[in-house]
Structure 1
């Protein structure tokens, strides 16, 4: 009965960090889907016009492009930052169930199951499944361990020391992500020298030392935490 009234989810991560997520409902996700559908339709119309002058060869190329765009659109955009243009417009993001950013396998799996969600037409199965759980997860989300949340409502109980958000240029495991978040959470209790000393352990990958390494590490932690200032 409370679904849709207050469906925020508080995730307590192993390192003591609390993440509050608000799942995106059917209405807002439908708007995001229609926005993405419009973009894909316009792209196909442009390609259709261009290749219409090439006869059967153009039709063949157009079918290949349709396949690539239909399957690649969501995978490419969501693998970058969890957002398609439609999700970005409505401030939504795909994340793991624990609130951390998705990895490529999560994104690929949730999108490979779109045909199952769309069976027999108009995402009928997906809509029914979403309506029956307070996280509004479709079949693809259940299989991939993902959910779509409001980006602006995702909060982490951390004390800010920097306004920078820095997406890392290297892959980190979940445990490593949590360790960086813990460092950021405890940074208020540490001296600047101690912060710089700890951050310098990763100086090789951060390509920085001392206080500069500390600032970069906290900026990466803010990225993983998803906190907005």
Structure 2
């Protein structure tokens, strides 16, 4: 599996392992089995048990098409729906422990998932998925056409250190938080803050540290109470862990 270097907006490189073609194919087949099961169950319930065919026979052609599309919509929008709800994963991807991420280090958004889903027509549905296989193999970031357009890739979460692990902080019992507005940050924001913070500390780059402090203050809409930048950022990281663990 290829190594995927994600360069964040703070110019911090984070390494992930790109999901292999085999993992992506297995996830696709798992999802396809779920979609087929949905169609079978819906057919049995609606036509065998409820007699929908008799109801449809009394409708005009356009009404029949509308009803058909209504029941087929979850099948068509399956990937878009689950990736949006599960933050880059479908049941198949979750089972294989792979995930869609932005190559700039941020969490992919609904427009990104929409672009990937729409371009499945060219990537996967046409020519039996050959376009997707070729583009993934040729891309140095393991991207199909939908990924290239959306600025995303699919990574493996089987690394010893995952995205979630990098934001954890040790909090002592009785800890008193200072900045309740840190909940404005997302897990991904905090991961980037911590990566940038550690890199700046290692290189003793006070300029980056100051820029990071200003950006944090802007996002959480609170001024630092600590005179020392390091203490402020460390407090923000701990406060975020405190509040998110309480939710």
TM range (shorter): 0.5 to 0.7
Indicate yes or no: 2:118 matched with 1:112. yes
2:155 corresponds to:
149
Offset at residue 20 of structure 1 (A): 0.6
1:14-44, Cα deviation, whole Å (9 max, x unpaired): 4353311111121110000000111111111
Name which of 136, 142, 147 aligns with 1:136: 142
- Residue of structure 1 in register with 2:52 after alignment: 54
Q: Once the 2 structures are TM-superposed, how far is the Cα of residue 104 of structure 1 from its aligned partner?
A: 1.2
Q: CA deviation at 1:76?
A: 2.0
Matched, 1:98 2:98: no
CA distance change for structure 1 residues 18 and 155 in 2, over 3 Å: closer, same or farther? Answer: farther
Is 1:78 matched with 2:83? yes
Question: Aligned pairs, how many?
Answer: 198
In the TM superposition, what is the alpha-carbon distance from 1:67 to its structure 2 partner? 2.7
Distance 1:203 1:115, change over 3 A: closer
Q: Distance in 2 between the 1:8 and 1:49 partners?
A: 46
1:215 aligns with 2:213: no
Task: Describe the shift of the 1:214–1:202 C-alpha distance in structure 2 as closer, same or farther (beyond 3 A).
Answer: farther
Is the CA contact (8 Å cut-off) linking 2:6 and 2:104 kept in structure 1?
yes
Structure 2 gaps of 5+ residues are 57-63, 172-181, 205-214, 223-231
- Structure 1: give runs of 5+ residues left out of the alignment: 190-197, 222-229
Structure 1: distance between partners of 2:94 and 2:128: 22
Larger radius of gyration: 2
Distance 1:75 1:170 in 2: 26
- 1:57-112 Cα offsets, whole Å, 9 max, x none, are 566534322133312x2112212321111111111000001232111111111111
Return the alpha-carbon distance in structure 1 between the equivalents of residues 146 and 7 of structure 2: 24
Task: Give how far 1:136 is off.
Answer: 2.2
Say whether the 8 Å CA contact 1:20–1:155 is kept in structure 2. no
Is structure 2 residue 12 aligned with structure 1 residue 8? no
CA RMSD of aligned residues (A): 4.1
Deviation for aligned residue 1:11: 3.2
Preserved contact between residue 96 and residue 147 of structure 1 (Cα < 8 Å): yes
| Change in CA separation of 1:199 and 1:127 when aligned onto 2, cut-off 3 Å | closer
Q: Residue 63 and residue 91 in structure 1: after superposition, are their counterparts in 2 closer, same or farther (change >3 A)? A: same
TM-score (norm 2): 0.63
What CA distance in whole angstroms lies between the structure 2 residues aligned with 1:142 and 1:84?
20
Which of 166, 169, 194 is equivalent to 1:161?
169
Contact kept in structure 2, 1:95 and 1:101, CA below 8 Å: yes
Normalising by structure 1, what TM-score? 0.68
Helix, strand or coil: the match of 1:15?
coil
